[in-house]
Structure 1
Amino acid sequence: MNDENRTYRDKPEAPQPLPLAVVDNHTHLDISRDGAPTPDVRRTIDEAVAVGVDRMVQVGCDLDGARFTERVIDEHPELLGAVALHPNEVPKLAEAGELDAAYVEIERIAQHSRVRAVGETGLDYFRTGPDGIAGQQSGFRWHIALAKKLGKALQIHDRDAHDDVMRILAEDGAPDVTVLHCFSGDVEMARECVERGYYVSVAGVVTFKNARDLRDALAQVPLENLLVETDAPYLTPSPHRGATNAPALVPLTVRALAEVKNVDVSTLCAALSENSERVYGPW
């Protein structure tokens, strides 16, 4: 089926299982698309495990998502959590006079032993206009400080804001473990991330025909700096672009990344699994 004719409700067939288990280090099991029902968490996990994605990081990026994350990570041993206020949430909460209270709740949930990252936080200049930039940057700095205070990893959302993301991380001092979620930078940025010791997380975009620049950038990243993710329900890898994404589709991204890195799939899987446990700890 052509991408243009596919609906978000179409369910892709399960890909060929991976030879070694890996981690989907960024998924949103609390989010649905285009009127579809919210994913059945147990079924979604089981379908992922069946193809070699046996661990996942559930990311809650607003208050409802953070509360959902707090609950499901206790119910499902395959899940760890990450919580934060998405950069697009921060200006809205500030305008409503609710930001300080939201920060208090995020900090409380972030202290949960199975919440292993603060994120996704960062900057998004695609949807927030100039009036929201200062608020986003302030929110980003708050989350950086929280990750360092709690000794947890930082997961970064960066959309159309590469220079400011890298600048603020340098100015404030990045946490010991910093992940560029859904990396979208160029070769120069990839090299700088590696020099700074950041992890680069690869989503389904790497499979898109028009993503040659991204593949060129990822070619510069050593295996020990790589992670893989879905960002489900978004960014579904080819050949299912346009369908609803799910952790079970990670093998498509892994196999595309193995081609970019010119390594066999087993070698890449072993590196991705080891990196994930180094970032988030044991499940």
Structure 2
Amino acid sequence: MASSKSKDKSRTQDTPPPVPEPLPAPVADSHTHLDMQGRTAEESLKLAASVNVATLVQVGCDVRSSEWAVQQASAFPEIHATVALHPNEAPRLVLGDMDEWAGHGARRPAGGEAALEAAIGRVAELAARPEVVGIGETGLDYFRTGPEGVAAQQLSFRRHIALAKEFGKALVIHDRDAHEDVLRILREEGAPDRVVFHCYSGDAAMARVCAEAGYYLSFAGPVTFKANDALREALRVTPLDRVLVETDAPFLTPVPFRGRPNAPYLIPYTVRSMAETLAVDLRELCVALDANTRRVFELV
């Protein structure tokens, strides 16, 4: 039986953090997953607005969540949609369920590149909608998918780059433990006009490469974590007109509530930490973050 102390800790971790002091000027959450946060979109918007988080970019990870993102963007002017297959979705479509595959020896479950292409086809249909401001999150994730999934991820990433260019939408990149390959494929395919590295996780050297290419770097809760000095250095070398902020909620909750459920209303903690790191006025940073988000996603 769990101790009362363990139960109390568990309850605390499940409890949403308190509402912070509002920011002095509006900002946008450039990357969130409202469908995973246990609130209605209307409730999330109201809570976010109470702290001056006025715009939300709802991000698709598969066909179903991409369709949901478009529905919410159609219903609420403060929400804008991106659509895509997450990097880890591509191997699932091509290879099937990996546990099931392993249990059947060499017999691969139904799937294959045809399943991936069908899903990308649906993403393309959604991408034509005016509510859609970006193609993402796409990219590469070598942390959660092993070597057997690399080819599927890279194929999917290339197809999403093509969609971003075809529809003139921003490309939203998920890059985890795959920095070199992400940058290489962008060079090989030719990057779209507007590129966002969501939840930037590279170092300062990579940030300089991205800045030279004109990419936008979006910083999330990890930039507030005590051990992440390298990430804060990456923020410092990024031009202010290329910096975004996000929650990636319900994940990556900023200090001092790391480990508890994240949501757009918690962005003020990250923004205040970023202002301290950059030694800039908080209002000035808010104005820049909001302007950058509107520019990269072409928001009216």
TM-score range, shorter chain: over 0.9
Task: Work out which of the residue numbers 6, 9, 15 in structure 2 matches 1:5.
Answer: 9
Identify the residue that residue 224 of structure 1 maps to in structure 2: 241
For 2:25 and 2:243, locate their aligned partners in 1 and report how far apart those are by CA, in whole Å. 16
Unaligned runs of 5+ in 2: 96-110
Give the CA deviation at 1:282. Answer: 2.4
Cα distance per residue 1:170-211 (max 9 Å; x no partner):
111110000000000011001101000000001011111111
> Identity percentage over the alignment?
51
For 1:269 and 1:54, locate their aligned partners in 2 and report how far apart those are by CA, in whole Å. 11
Task: Work out which of the residue numbers 139, 144, 149 in structure 1 matches 2:156.
Answer: 139
Identify the residue that residue 66 of structure 2 maps to in structure 1: 66
Identify the residue that residue 205 of structure 2 maps to in structure 1: 188
Match status 1:130 vs 2:147: yes
Identify the residue that residue 35 of structure 1 maps to in structure 2: none
Contact 1:6 / 1:242 at 8 angstroms: preserved in 2?
A: no
Read off the aligned partner of 1:171 and give its amino acid letter: E
Contact 1:57 / 1:81 at 8 angstroms: preserved in 2?
A: yes
Secondary structure at 1:167 match in 2: helix
Q: Normalising by the residue count of structure 2, what TM-score does the alignment of the two structures yield?
A: 0.90
Give the CA deviation at 1:5. Answer: 3.1
Match status 1:16 vs 2:21: yes
Counterparts of 1:62-211 in structure 2, within 5 Å, are: 62-95=62-95, 96-97=111-112, 98-211=115-228
Pick the structure with more helix per residue: 2
Most deviating of 95-104 and 231-240: 95-104
Give the CA deviation at 1:39. Answer: 2.3
For 2:189 and 2:117, locate their aligned partners in 1 and report how far apart those are by CA, in whole Å. 21
Most deviating of 148-157 and 63-72: 63-72
Cα distance per residue 1:154-175 (max 9 Å; x no partner):
0000000001001111111110
For 1:176 and 1:46, locate their aligned partners in 2 and report how far apart those are by CA, in whole Å. 33
For 2:247 and 2:287, locate their aligned partners in 1 and report how far apart those are by CA, in whole Å. 18
Please give the root-mean-square deviation of Cα atoms over the aligned residues, in Å.
1.5
Identify the residue that residue 106 of structure 2 maps to in structure 1: none
Secondary structure at 2:35 match in 1: coil
Read off the aligned partner of 2:124 and give its amino acid letter: E
Most deviating of 95-104 and 236-245: 95-104
Contact 1:26 / 1:229 at 8 angstroms: preserved in 2?
A: yes
Give the CA deviation at 1:6. Answer: 5.3
Read off the aligned partner of 1:250 and give its amino acid letter: I
Read off the aligned partner of 1:188 and give its amino acid letter: A
Q: Which has the larger radius of gyration?
A: 2
Secondary structure at 1:58 match in 2: strand
Unaligned runs of 5+ in 1: 33-37
Aligned residues: 277
Give the CA deviation at 1:123. Answer: 0.2
For 1:282 and 1:216, locate their aligned partners in 2 and report how far apart those are by CA, in whole Å. 29
For 1:31 and 1:143, locate their aligned partners in 2 and report how far apart those are by CA, in whole Å. 23
